[in-house]
Structure 1
Amino acid sequence: MAGALAGAGIVWQTPANPPEAQDYIFRNGRRYVRPYYFEFISHAKNRWAGKTIVDLFTDEFKGRPREYYVHAVKCGRLQVDEQMVEEDYIVKSSQKISHFLHRHEPPVLGGNIVILQNEVDVVTVCKPASVPVHPCGQYRKNTVVGIMEAEHGLTPLFPVHRLDRLVSGLLIFAKSAERAECFRQQIEANLLQKEYVAKVVGVFPEGEVMMFVYCNSCMVYL
Protein backbone atom coordinates (compact mmCIF):
# COMPACT_ATOMS: atom_id res chain seq x y z
CA MET A 1 0.00 0.00 0.00
CA ALA A 2 2.74 2.47 0.97
CA GLY A 3 4.67 1.75 -2.20
CA ALA A 4 1.62 2.29 -4.40
CA LEU A 5 0.87 5.64 -2.79
CA ALA A 6 4.48 6.79 -3.01
CA GLY A 7 4.53 5.88 -6.68
CA ALA A 8 1.50 8.09 -7.25
CA GLY A 9 3.41 11.11 -5.88
CA ILE A 10 1.25 11.36 -2.77
CA VAL A 11 2.77 12.47 0.54
CA TRP A 12 3.05 9.33 2.66
CA GLN A 13 3.07 9.56 6.45
CA THR A 14 3.12 7.21 9.43
CA PRO A 15 3.17 8.10 13.16
CA ALA A 16 6.98 7.98 12.96
CA ASN A 17 7.23 10.79 10.35
CA PRO A 18 7.96 14.15 11.99
CA PRO A 19 6.32 17.34 10.68
CA GLU A 20 8.61 19.38 8.42
CA ALA A 21 8.65 23.05 7.44
CA GLN A 22 7.68 22.29 3.82
CA ASP A 23 4.48 20.63 5.03
CA TYR A 24 2.90 24.06 5.61
CA ILE A 25 1.34 26.54 3.20
CA PHE A 26 0.48 30.13 4.20
CA ARG A 27 -2.40 31.81 2.43
CA ASN A 28 -4.70 34.71 3.34
CA GLY A 29 -3.42 34.86 6.91
CA ARG A 30 -3.91 31.15 7.56
CA ARG A 31 -1.60 28.20 7.97
CA TYR A 32 -2.57 25.14 5.93
CA VAL A 33 -1.07 21.65 5.88
CA ARG A 34 -0.40 19.88 2.59
CA PRO A 35 -2.82 16.90 2.34
CA TYR A 36 -1.16 13.59 3.09
CA TYR A 37 -1.91 9.93 3.52
CA PHE A 38 -1.53 8.76 7.10
CA GLU A 39 -1.35 5.29 8.62
CA PHE A 40 -3.30 4.95 11.85
CA ILE A 41 -1.91 1.94 13.71
CA SER A 42 -3.52 -0.03 16.54
CA HIS A 43 -3.11 -3.51 17.94
CA ALA A 44 -6.16 -5.69 18.37
CA LYS A 45 -7.48 -5.75 21.91
CA ASN A 46 -8.68 -9.00 23.45
CA ARG A 47 -12.31 -7.89 23.13
CA TRP A 48 -11.79 -7.38 19.39
CA ALA A 49 -10.63 -10.95 18.82
CA GLY A 50 -13.18 -13.15 17.02
CA LYS A 51 -14.82 -10.26 15.13
CA THR A 52 -14.54 -9.78 11.41
CA ILE A 53 -12.45 -6.81 10.36
CA VAL A 54 -15.57 -5.02 9.07
CA ASP A 55 -17.66 -5.74 12.17
CA LEU A 56 -14.80 -4.58 14.39
CA PHE A 57 -14.53 -1.15 12.74
CA THR A 58 -18.29 -0.76 12.41
CA ASP A 59 -18.77 -1.43 16.14
CA GLU A 60 -15.73 0.43 17.51
CA PHE A 61 -15.41 3.40 15.14
CA LYS A 62 -18.93 4.60 14.51
CA GLY A 63 -17.98 7.81 12.70
CA ARG A 64 -18.21 6.07 9.34
CA PRO A 65 -20.88 3.76 7.87
CA ARG A 66 -20.34 0.03 7.42
CA GLU A 67 -20.21 0.48 3.65
CA TYR A 68 -17.09 2.62 4.04
CA TYR A 69 -15.26 -0.13 5.94
CA VAL A 70 -16.30 -2.77 3.42
CA HIS A 71 -14.83 -0.65 0.62
CA ALA A 72 -11.72 0.17 2.70
CA VAL A 73 -10.97 -3.54 3.15
CA LYS A 74 -11.50 -4.31 -0.54
CA CYS A 75 -9.18 -1.53 -1.73
CA GLY A 76 -6.49 -2.15 0.92
CA ARG A 77 -6.97 0.91 3.14
CA LEU A 78 -7.67 -1.48 6.04
CA GLN A 79 -4.94 -4.07 6.51
CA VAL A 80 -3.99 -6.65 9.12
CA ASP A 81 -0.30 -7.31 9.80
CA GLU A 82 0.52 -5.27 6.68
CA GLN A 83 -1.50 -7.60 4.47
CA MET A 84 -4.74 -7.12 2.55
CA VAL A 85 -7.54 -9.35 3.87
CA GLU A 86 -11.11 -10.27 2.95
CA GLU A 87 -14.04 -8.48 4.56
CA ASP A 88 -14.94 -11.63 6.55
CA TYR A 89 -11.41 -11.98 7.96
CA ILE A 90 -11.49 -12.88 11.69
CA VAL A 91 -9.21 -10.66 13.77
CA LYS A 92 -6.92 -12.22 16.38
CA SER A 93 -5.67 -10.59 19.58
CA SER A 94 -2.57 -8.36 19.31
CA GLN A 95 -2.56 -8.27 15.51
CA LYS A 96 -1.42 -4.99 13.95
CA ILE A 97 -4.28 -3.20 12.24
CA SER A 98 -3.58 -0.31 9.87
CA HIS A 99 -6.09 2.23 8.59
CA PHE A 100 -4.82 4.40 5.73
CA LEU A 101 -6.55 7.79 5.43
CA HIS A 102 -6.14 10.83 3.22
CA ARG A 103 -5.95 13.67 5.71
CA HIS A 104 -6.88 17.32 5.22
CA GLU A 105 -6.14 19.13 8.46
CA PRO A 106 -8.23 22.24 9.21
CA PRO A 107 -6.32 25.53 8.81
CA VAL A 108 -5.25 27.67 11.77
CA LEU A 109 -4.21 31.31 12.01
CA GLY A 110 -0.95 31.89 10.19
CA GLY A 111 1.00 33.78 12.86
CA ASN A 112 4.32 32.54 14.18
CA ILE A 113 4.68 30.81 17.53
CA VAL A 114 6.99 33.16 19.44
CA ILE A 115 9.60 31.51 21.68
CA LEU A 116 9.88 33.61 24.82
CA GLN A 117 12.62 31.58 26.51
CA ASN A 118 14.47 28.44 25.49
CA GLU A 119 16.41 26.77 28.28
CA VAL A 120 18.18 23.43 28.63
CA ASP A 121 15.16 21.56 29.96
CA VAL A 122 12.19 23.87 29.36
CA VAL A 123 10.86 26.12 26.62
CA THR A 124 8.24 28.85 27.01
CA VAL A 125 6.21 30.06 24.03
CA CYS A 126 3.32 32.38 23.25
CA LYS A 127 0.55 30.19 21.84
CA PRO A 128 -1.63 31.90 19.24
CA ALA A 129 -5.37 31.37 19.21
CA SER A 130 -6.85 28.64 16.98
CA VAL A 131 -3.86 26.27 17.32
CA PRO A 132 -4.24 23.09 19.42
CA VAL A 133 -1.42 22.34 21.87
CA HIS A 134 -0.78 18.75 20.78
CA PRO A 135 -2.09 16.24 18.19
CA CYS A 136 -5.78 15.51 18.70
CA GLY A 137 -8.83 14.88 16.56
CA GLN A 138 -8.30 16.30 13.07
CA TYR A 139 -5.05 18.02 14.00
CA ARG A 140 -1.57 16.53 13.91
CA LYS A 141 0.83 18.92 12.19
CA ASN A 142 -1.20 22.10 12.77
CA THR A 143 -0.45 22.00 16.50
CA VAL A 144 2.01 23.84 18.72
CA VAL A 145 3.98 20.62 19.21
CA GLY A 146 4.05 19.91 15.47
CA ILE A 147 5.01 23.45 14.46
CA MET A 148 7.75 23.68 17.10
CA GLU A 149 9.28 20.47 15.76
CA ALA A 150 8.96 21.46 12.10
CA GLU A 151 10.20 25.04 12.39
CA HIS A 152 12.55 24.93 15.38
CA GLY A 153 13.63 21.30 15.66
CA LEU A 154 12.39 21.14 19.26
CA THR A 155 11.37 17.58 20.10
CA PRO A 156 10.22 15.86 22.20
CA LEU A 157 8.11 18.40 24.06
CA PHE A 158 5.93 17.60 27.07
CA PRO A 159 3.13 20.09 27.88
CA VAL A 160 3.34 21.26 31.49
CA HIS A 161 -0.21 22.63 31.16
CA ARG A 162 -2.67 23.13 28.33
CA LEU A 163 -4.67 25.93 26.79
CA ASP A 164 -7.83 25.38 24.75
CA ARG A 165 -7.45 25.60 20.99
CA LEU A 166 -9.18 28.98 20.74
CA VAL A 167 -7.21 30.48 23.63
CA SER A 168 -3.91 32.36 23.28
CA GLY A 169 -1.35 32.76 26.03
CA LEU A 170 1.78 31.58 27.76
CA LEU A 171 2.56 27.90 27.27
CA ILE A 172 5.34 25.96 28.99
CA PHE A 173 6.85 22.73 27.69
CA ALA A 174 9.32 20.45 29.42
CA LYS A 175 11.96 18.80 27.23
CA SER A 176 11.89 15.54 29.16
CA ALA A 177 9.32 13.39 30.92
CA GLU A 178 11.27 13.77 34.17
CA ARG A 179 11.12 17.59 34.03
CA ALA A 180 7.41 17.46 33.18
CA GLU A 181 6.78 15.26 36.22
CA CYS A 182 8.64 17.76 38.39
CA PHE A 183 6.38 20.55 37.15
CA ARG A 184 3.31 18.38 37.75
CA GLN A 185 4.28 17.84 41.37
CA GLN A 186 4.87 21.57 41.86
CA ILE A 187 1.44 22.38 40.41
CA GLU A 188 -0.25 19.81 42.66
CA ALA A 189 1.55 21.33 45.66
CA ASN A 190 0.32 24.83 44.66
CA LEU A 191 3.89 26.00 44.19
CA LEU A 192 3.02 27.26 40.70
CA GLN A 193 0.08 29.48 39.83
CA LYS A 194 -1.55 30.49 36.57
CA GLU A 195 -3.01 33.94 35.96
CA TYR A 196 -5.60 34.56 33.22
CA VAL A 197 -6.22 37.99 31.70
CA ALA A 198 -9.68 38.53 30.19
CA LYS A 199 -10.93 41.37 28.00
CA VAL A 200 -14.47 42.56 28.71
CA VAL A 201 -16.93 44.73 26.83
CA GLY A 202 -18.66 47.55 28.67
CA VAL A 203 -18.03 49.03 32.11
CA PHE A 204 -16.43 46.62 34.57
CA PRO A 205 -17.27 47.04 38.29
CA GLU A 206 -14.64 48.72 40.43
CA GLY A 207 -12.73 46.76 43.04
CA GLU A 208 -11.93 43.06 43.14
CA VAL A 209 -14.42 40.74 41.47
CA MET A 210 -14.40 36.93 41.71
CA MET A 211 -15.75 35.01 38.73
CA PHE A 212 -15.82 31.32 37.87
CA VAL A 213 -15.13 30.38 34.28
CA TYR A 214 -15.48 26.78 33.17
CA CYS A 215 -13.36 25.44 30.35
CA ASN A 216 -12.98 21.91 28.96
CA SER A 217 -10.59 20.67 31.61
CA CYS A 218 -10.63 23.02 34.58
CA MET A 219 -12.35 25.73 36.56
CA VAL A 220 -10.52 29.03 36.39
CA TYR A 221 -10.78 31.81 38.98
CA LEU A 222 -10.66 35.34 37.55
Structure 2
Amino acid sequence: MSIASQASEITLPAVTNYTTVYDFLCAKFPFITPQVWQQRIADGKVHWHDGEPITEQTGYMPSKRLCYYREVEAEPVVPFAHRILYQDKHFLVADKPHFLPVTPGGQYVNECLLARLKKQTGITDLVPLHRLDRDTAGLVLFSINPASRADYCQLFSLQKITKQYQAVAKLTASIEQQLLRQSLPLQWQIKNRIEKATPKFINHIVKGEANSESDIQLAAKCDNKGLFCLTPVTGKTHQLRLHMLSLGMPILNDIYYPELQPKGPPQFDAPLQLLAKKLAFIDPITGQKQSFSSSFQLSEW
Protein backbone atom coordinates (compact mmCIF):
# COMPACT_ATOMS: atom_id res chain seq x y z
CA MET A 1 0.00 0.00 0.00
CA SER A 2 1.33 3.44 -0.97
CA ILE A 3 -0.07 6.39 1.00
CA ALA A 4 0.36 10.02 -0.05
CA SER A 5 2.80 11.95 2.10
CA GLN A 6 0.91 15.18 1.36
CA ALA A 7 -2.83 15.63 1.73
CA SER A 8 -5.04 16.28 -1.28
CA GLU A 9 -7.52 19.12 -0.86
CA ILE A 10 -11.03 19.64 -2.14
CA THR A 11 -13.49 22.47 -1.57
CA LEU A 12 -16.98 21.13 -0.89
CA PRO A 13 -19.47 22.37 -3.51
CA ALA A 14 -21.65 25.25 -2.37
CA VAL A 15 -24.95 23.68 -3.46
CA THR A 16 -25.63 19.96 -2.90
CA ASN A 17 -28.11 17.61 -1.23
CA TYR A 18 -25.53 15.76 0.87
CA THR A 19 -26.19 15.32 4.58
CA THR A 20 -22.71 14.24 5.68
CA VAL A 21 -19.15 14.57 4.40
CA TYR A 22 -19.05 10.78 4.22
CA ASP A 23 -22.03 10.78 1.81
CA PHE A 24 -20.24 13.32 -0.37
CA LEU A 25 -16.99 11.31 -0.50
CA CYS A 26 -18.79 8.12 -1.50
CA ALA A 27 -20.60 9.93 -4.31
CA LYS A 28 -17.60 11.99 -5.45
CA PHE A 29 -15.26 8.99 -5.66
CA PRO A 30 -17.46 6.04 -6.77
CA PHE A 31 -14.45 3.80 -7.49
CA ILE A 32 -13.50 3.88 -3.79
CA THR A 33 -15.79 1.65 -1.74
CA PRO A 34 -17.73 3.00 1.26
CA GLN A 35 -15.81 0.56 3.46
CA VAL A 36 -12.51 2.14 2.41
CA TRP A 37 -13.81 5.62 3.26
CA GLN A 38 -15.05 4.34 6.61
CA GLN A 39 -11.58 2.99 7.40
CA ARG A 40 -9.80 6.16 6.22
CA ILE A 41 -12.08 8.29 8.38
CA ALA A 42 -11.54 5.97 11.36
CA ASP A 43 -7.75 6.21 10.83
CA GLY A 44 -7.85 10.03 10.84
CA LYS A 45 -6.93 10.30 7.14
CA VAL A 46 -9.79 12.70 6.37
CA HIS A 47 -9.94 16.07 8.09
CA TRP A 48 -10.85 19.73 7.64
CA HIS A 49 -8.16 22.10 6.40
CA ASP A 50 -7.44 23.26 9.96
CA GLY A 51 -6.64 19.68 10.99
CA GLU A 52 -9.90 18.88 12.78
CA PRO A 53 -10.79 15.23 12.00
CA ILE A 54 -14.19 14.23 10.69
CA THR A 55 -16.35 11.24 11.55
CA GLU A 56 -18.95 9.37 9.51
CA GLN A 57 -21.56 11.61 11.11
CA THR A 58 -19.83 14.96 10.41
CA GLY A 59 -22.32 17.21 8.68
CA TYR A 60 -21.75 18.49 5.17
CA MET A 61 -20.48 22.10 5.18
CA PRO A 62 -20.70 23.86 1.81
CA SER A 63 -17.55 25.66 0.58
CA LYS A 64 -15.37 24.29 3.38
CA ARG A 65 -11.98 22.83 2.48
CA LEU A 66 -11.48 19.13 3.14
CA CYS A 67 -8.21 17.18 3.21
CA TYR A 68 -7.72 13.49 2.53
CA TYR A 69 -4.78 11.17 1.84
CA ARG A 70 -4.81 9.16 -1.35
CA GLU A 71 -3.90 5.46 -1.26
CA VAL A 72 -3.08 2.91 -3.95
CA GLU A 73 -2.32 -0.78 -3.62
CA ALA A 74 0.79 -0.74 -5.82
CA GLU A 75 2.30 2.50 -7.07
CA PRO A 76 4.47 2.31 -10.22
CA VAL A 77 8.04 3.53 -9.87
CA VAL A 78 9.35 5.75 -12.67
CA PRO A 79 13.06 4.93 -13.10
CA PHE A 80 14.03 8.30 -14.56
CA ALA A 81 15.34 11.37 -12.73
CA HIS A 82 13.89 14.86 -12.88
CA ARG A 83 16.11 17.94 -12.82
CA ILE A 84 15.77 21.43 -11.38
CA LEU A 85 17.02 23.88 -14.01
CA TYR A 86 16.36 27.14 -12.14
CA GLN A 87 15.07 28.34 -8.79
CA ASP A 88 14.70 31.76 -7.18
CA LYS A 89 12.40 33.11 -4.46
CA HIS A 90 9.40 33.27 -6.81
CA PHE A 91 9.48 30.30 -9.17
CA LEU A 92 11.18 27.04 -10.04
CA VAL A 93 11.69 25.41 -13.44
CA ALA A 94 11.87 21.61 -13.47
CA ASP A 95 12.72 19.21 -16.28
CA LYS A 96 10.29 16.28 -16.16
CA PRO A 97 11.15 12.86 -17.61
CA HIS A 98 8.71 10.82 -19.65
CA PHE A 99 6.20 8.70 -17.69
CA LEU A 100 6.28 10.86 -14.53
CA PRO A 101 3.00 12.69 -13.76
CA VAL A 102 3.18 16.31 -12.64
CA THR A 103 0.67 15.85 -9.81
CA PRO A 104 -0.87 12.84 -8.01
CA GLY A 105 -3.54 10.96 -9.91
CA GLY A 106 -4.72 7.44 -10.69
CA GLN A 107 -2.10 4.92 -9.55
CA TYR A 108 0.38 7.68 -8.74
CA VAL A 109 0.49 9.09 -5.21
CA ASN A 110 4.06 9.95 -4.22
CA GLU A 111 5.70 9.14 -7.56
CA CYS A 112 4.99 12.46 -9.24
CA LEU A 113 7.03 15.55 -10.02
CA LEU A 114 5.31 17.70 -7.39
CA ALA A 115 5.95 15.22 -4.56
CA ARG A 116 9.54 14.70 -5.66
CA LEU A 117 10.23 18.44 -5.71
CA LYS A 118 8.62 19.03 -2.32
CA LYS A 119 10.81 16.31 -0.83
CA GLN A 120 13.94 17.59 -2.57
CA THR A 121 13.51 21.30 -1.81
CA GLY A 122 11.58 21.21 1.47
CA ILE A 123 9.12 23.72 -0.02
CA THR A 124 5.61 22.63 0.92
CA ASP A 125 3.75 25.50 -0.79
CA LEU A 126 4.87 24.54 -4.29
CA VAL A 127 2.25 24.87 -7.03
CA PRO A 128 2.53 23.88 -10.71
CA LEU A 129 1.44 26.76 -12.95
CA HIS A 130 0.59 24.48 -15.88
CA ARG A 131 0.51 20.78 -16.71
CA LEU A 132 2.23 18.29 -18.96
CA ASP A 133 0.78 14.89 -19.77
CA ARG A 134 2.43 12.06 -17.88
CA ASP A 135 3.67 10.72 -21.23
CA THR A 136 5.30 14.03 -22.21
CA ALA A 137 8.76 15.08 -21.03
CA GLY A 138 10.14 18.58 -20.55
CA LEU A 139 9.78 21.89 -18.78
CA VAL A 140 7.28 22.65 -16.01
CA LEU A 141 7.04 26.01 -14.21
CA PHE A 142 6.21 26.02 -10.48
CA SER A 143 5.28 28.90 -8.18
CA ILE A 144 7.16 29.08 -4.87
CA ASN A 145 5.89 32.35 -3.41
CA PRO A 146 2.13 32.78 -2.73
CA ALA A 147 2.57 36.58 -2.80
CA SER A 148 3.63 36.58 -6.46
CA ARG A 149 1.71 33.48 -7.60
CA ALA A 150 -1.07 35.38 -9.35
CA ASP A 151 1.47 37.35 -11.40
CA TYR A 152 2.97 34.15 -12.80
CA CYS A 153 -0.45 32.54 -13.32
CA GLN A 154 -1.36 35.45 -15.56
CA LEU A 155 1.49 34.59 -17.89
CA PHE A 156 -0.63 31.63 -18.96
CA SER A 157 -4.12 33.11 -18.73
CA LEU A 158 -3.06 36.16 -20.77
CA GLN A 159 -0.92 34.06 -23.17
CA LYS A 160 2.23 35.97 -22.27
CA ILE A 161 4.43 32.88 -22.19
CA THR A 162 5.93 31.11 -25.20
CA LYS A 163 6.05 27.32 -25.11
CA GLN A 164 7.78 25.31 -27.81
CA TYR A 165 7.71 21.54 -28.16
CA GLN A 166 9.57 19.00 -30.23
CA ALA A 167 8.01 15.86 -31.68
CA VAL A 168 9.05 13.00 -33.94
CA ALA A 169 6.64 11.41 -36.40
CA LYS A 170 6.75 9.32 -39.56
CA LEU A 171 6.33 11.43 -42.67
CA THR A 172 3.46 10.83 -45.06
CA ALA A 173 4.22 9.93 -48.66
CA SER A 174 2.79 13.27 -49.79
CA ILE A 175 5.11 15.19 -47.49
CA GLU A 176 8.10 13.21 -48.74
CA GLN A 177 7.08 14.06 -52.32
CA GLN A 178 6.69 17.72 -51.38
CA LEU A 179 10.21 17.73 -49.94
CA LEU A 180 11.55 16.72 -53.35
CA ARG A 181 10.27 20.06 -54.66
CA GLN A 182 10.59 22.29 -51.60
CA SER A 183 13.32 22.69 -48.99
CA LEU A 184 12.80 22.73 -45.23
CA PRO A 185 11.15 24.04 -43.17
CA LEU A 186 7.55 23.20 -43.99
CA GLN A 187 4.93 25.00 -41.91
CA TRP A 188 1.29 24.58 -40.94
CA GLN A 189 -1.12 26.65 -38.86
CA ILE A 190 -3.74 24.34 -37.37
CA LYS A 191 -7.05 25.65 -36.04
CA ASN A 192 -9.95 23.39 -35.13
CA ARG A 193 -12.39 22.44 -32.40
CA ILE A 194 -11.42 19.91 -29.74
CA GLU A 195 -14.00 18.28 -27.49
CA LYS A 196 -14.13 15.41 -24.99
CA ALA A 197 -14.53 11.93 -26.44
CA THR A 198 -15.21 8.46 -25.05
CA PRO A 199 -13.58 7.35 -22.83
CA LYS A 200 -13.46 10.76 -21.17
CA PHE A 201 -9.66 10.95 -20.82
CA ILE A 202 -9.22 11.32 -24.59
CA ASN A 203 -10.36 14.10 -26.92
CA HIS A 204 -11.23 14.36 -30.58
CA ILE A 205 -11.57 16.98 -33.31
CA VAL A 206 -15.15 17.93 -34.20
CA LYS A 207 -16.89 20.37 -36.50
CA GLY A 208 -17.57 23.85 -35.14
CA GLU A 209 -15.90 27.06 -34.13
CA ALA A 210 -12.20 26.61 -33.50
CA ASN A 211 -11.11 26.52 -29.84
CA SER A 212 -7.54 25.32 -30.42
CA GLU A 213 -4.60 26.61 -32.42
CA SER A 214 -1.02 25.45 -33.00
CA ASP A 215 1.84 26.44 -35.28
CA ILE A 216 3.73 23.39 -36.55
CA GLN A 217 7.00 23.29 -38.46
CA LEU A 218 8.88 20.37 -39.97
CA ALA A 219 12.43 21.32 -39.05
CA ALA A 220 14.48 18.27 -40.07
CA LYS A 221 14.16 14.92 -41.86
CA CYS A 222 15.99 11.63 -41.36
CA ASP A 223 14.95 8.68 -43.52
CA ASN A 224 11.15 8.50 -43.22
CA LYS A 225 10.93 10.42 -39.93
CA GLY A 226 10.64 14.14 -39.25
CA LEU A 227 11.54 16.37 -36.33
CA PHE A 228 8.76 18.87 -35.73
CA CYS A 229 8.72 22.12 -33.75
CA LEU A 230 5.29 22.80 -32.29
CA THR A 231 4.14 26.07 -30.76
CA PRO A 232 0.70 25.87 -29.12
CA VAL A 233 -1.28 29.12 -29.09
CA THR A 234 -4.02 27.59 -26.93
CA GLY A 235 -3.75 24.84 -24.33
CA LYS A 236 -6.40 22.16 -24.88
CA THR A 237 -5.76 18.68 -23.50
CA HIS A 238 -3.84 16.54 -26.03
CA GLN A 239 -3.92 19.45 -28.47
CA LEU A 240 -0.51 18.79 -30.03
CA ARG A 241 -1.16 15.06 -30.35
CA LEU A 242 -4.45 15.74 -32.14
CA HIS A 243 -3.03 18.45 -34.37
CA MET A 244 -0.21 16.16 -35.51
CA LEU A 245 -2.81 13.44 -36.10
CA SER A 246 -4.85 15.86 -38.21
CA LEU A 247 -1.83 16.21 -40.51
CA GLY A 248 -1.74 12.44 -40.91
CA MET A 249 1.45 12.17 -38.85
CA PRO A 250 0.66 10.96 -35.31
CA ILE A 251 3.51 11.35 -32.82
CA LEU A 252 5.57 8.20 -32.47
CA ASN A 253 4.71 5.88 -29.57
CA ASP A 254 1.40 7.61 -28.80
CA ILE A 255 -0.76 5.13 -26.87
CA TYR A 256 -3.92 7.28 -27.28
CA TYR A 257 -3.93 8.40 -30.91
CA PRO A 258 -4.77 7.39 -33.58
CA GLU A 259 -5.93 4.25 -31.72
CA LEU A 260 -6.33 3.86 -27.96
CA GLN A 261 -4.06 1.05 -26.81
CA PRO A 262 -5.08 -1.46 -24.11
CA LYS A 263 -4.09 -0.43 -20.61
CA GLY A 264 -0.87 -2.02 -19.46
CA PRO A 265 2.39 -1.31 -17.62
CA PRO A 266 4.45 1.67 -18.81
CA GLN A 267 6.64 0.87 -21.82
CA PHE A 268 9.78 2.59 -20.58
CA ASP A 269 11.70 1.68 -23.73
CA ALA A 270 9.16 3.40 -26.01
CA PRO A 271 8.37 6.89 -24.65
CA LEU A 272 6.03 9.24 -26.46
CA GLN A 273 8.14 11.33 -28.79
CA LEU A 274 6.93 14.66 -27.46
CA LEU A 275 9.10 17.06 -25.47
CA ALA A 276 8.30 20.47 -23.94
CA LYS A 277 11.62 21.90 -25.10
CA LYS A 278 11.49 25.65 -24.42
CA LEU A 279 9.80 28.22 -22.15
CA ALA A 280 10.24 31.96 -22.52
CA PHE A 281 8.56 34.95 -20.84
CA ILE A 282 9.11 38.39 -19.39
CA ASP A 283 9.38 38.00 -15.64
CA PRO A 284 6.39 39.89 -14.18
CA ILE A 285 8.36 40.78 -11.04
CA THR A 286 11.79 41.77 -12.39
CA GLY A 287 10.87 42.71 -15.96
CA GLN A 288 13.77 40.57 -17.20
CA LYS A 289 13.45 38.10 -20.08
CA GLN A 290 13.54 34.49 -18.90
CA SER A 291 14.30 31.63 -21.29
CA PHE A 292 14.78 27.94 -20.50
CA SER A 293 15.55 24.86 -22.56
CA SER A 294 15.04 21.22 -21.60
CA SER A 295 18.13 19.06 -21.21
CA PHE A 296 16.26 15.98 -22.47
CA GLN A 297 16.42 14.66 -26.02
CA LEU A 298 13.89 12.59 -27.94
CA SER A 299 15.11 9.01 -28.19
CA GLU A 300 13.83 8.42 -31.74
CA TRP A 301 15.86 11.30 -33.16
Name the TM-score class by shorter chain.
0.5 to 0.7
In structure 1, list runs of 5 or more residues that go unmatched. Answer: 1-9, 17-38
Give CA-to-partner distance per residue, 1:19-71, whole Å, 9 cap, x none.
Answer: xxxxxxxxxxxxxxxxxxxx99987985211x795x6665443225xxx5358
C-alpha distance 188-13 of structure 1, shift in aligned 2 (>3 A): closer
Residue 63 of structure 1, aligned match among 10, 31, 49: 31
Q: Which moved more, 1:179-188 or 1:120-129?
A: 179-188
Greater helix fraction, Structure 1 or Structure 2:
1
Q: Distance in 2 between matches of 1:96 and 1:129?
A: 33
**Number of corresponding residues:** 180
Alignment of 1:10-25 (within 5 A): 15=6
Query: Which amino acid is the alignment partner of residue 61 of structure 1?
Result: F
Q: CA deviation at 1:72?
A: 6.3
The corresponding residue for 2:17 is 47
Q: Distance in 2 between matches of 1:118 and 1:137?
A: 29
1:195 aligns to 2:164 (yes or no): yes
C-alpha distance 160-105 of structure 1, shift in aligned 2 (>3 A): farther
Q: CA deviation at 1:165?
A: 0.8
Q: CA deviation at 1:177?
A: 3.0
Query: Which amino acid is the alignment partner of residue 157 of structure 1?
Result: L
Residue 119 of structure 2, aligned match among 150, 168, 171: 150
Q: Distance in 2 between matches of 1:191 and 1:98?
A: 33
1:104 aligns to 2:83 (yes or no): no
Is the contact made by 1:135 and 1:141 (CA closer than 8 Å) also made in structure 2? yes
Q: Distance in 1 between matches of 2:164 and 2:147?
A: 25
The corresponding residue for 1:36 is none
Is the contact made by 1:72 and 1:78 (CA closer than 8 Å) also made in structure 2? yes
Q: CA deviation at 1:112?
A: 1.4
Is the contact made by 1:78 and 1:98 (CA closer than 8 Å) also made in structure 2? no
1:208 aligns to 2:182 (yes or no): no
C-alpha distance 187-104 of structure 1, shift in aligned 2 (>3 A): same
1:132 aligns to 2:101 (yes or no): yes
In structure 2, list runs of 5 or more residues that go unmatched. Answer: 47-51, 195-201, 204-234, 245-301
C-alpha distance 11-192 of structure 1, shift in aligned 2 (>3 A): closer
Q: Distance in 1 between matches of 2:95 and 2:30?
A: 37
3-state SS of the aligned residue for 1:195? Answer: strand
Q: Which moved more, 1:96-105 or 1:152-161?
A: 96-105
1:121 aligns to 2:101 (yes or no): no
Is the contact made by 1:132 and 1:143 (CA closer than 8 Å) also made in structure 2? yes
CA RMSD of aligned residues (A): 4.2
Q: Distance in 2 between matches of 1:44 and 1:137?
A: 22
Q: CA deviation at 1:198?
A: 1.0
Q: Distance in 2 between matches of 1:170 and 1:131?
A: 12
Q: CA deviation at 1:143?
A: 1.0
Q: Distance in 1 between matches of 2:21 and 2:150?
A: 41
Q: CA deviation at 1:108?
A: 4.1
Query: Which amino acid is the alignment partner of residue 132 of structure 1?
Result: P
The corresponding residue for 1:176 is 145
Q: CA deviation at 1:166?
A: 0.6
1:167 aligns to 2:136 (yes or no): yes
Q: CA deviation at 1:197?
A: 1.0
Q: Distance in 2 between matches of 1:12 and 1:161?
A: 25
C-alpha distance 171-14 of structure 1, shift in aligned 2 (>3 A): closer
Query: Which amino acid is the alignment partner of residue 159 of structure 1?
Result: P
C-alpha distance 184-175 of structure 1, shift in aligned 2 (>3 A): same
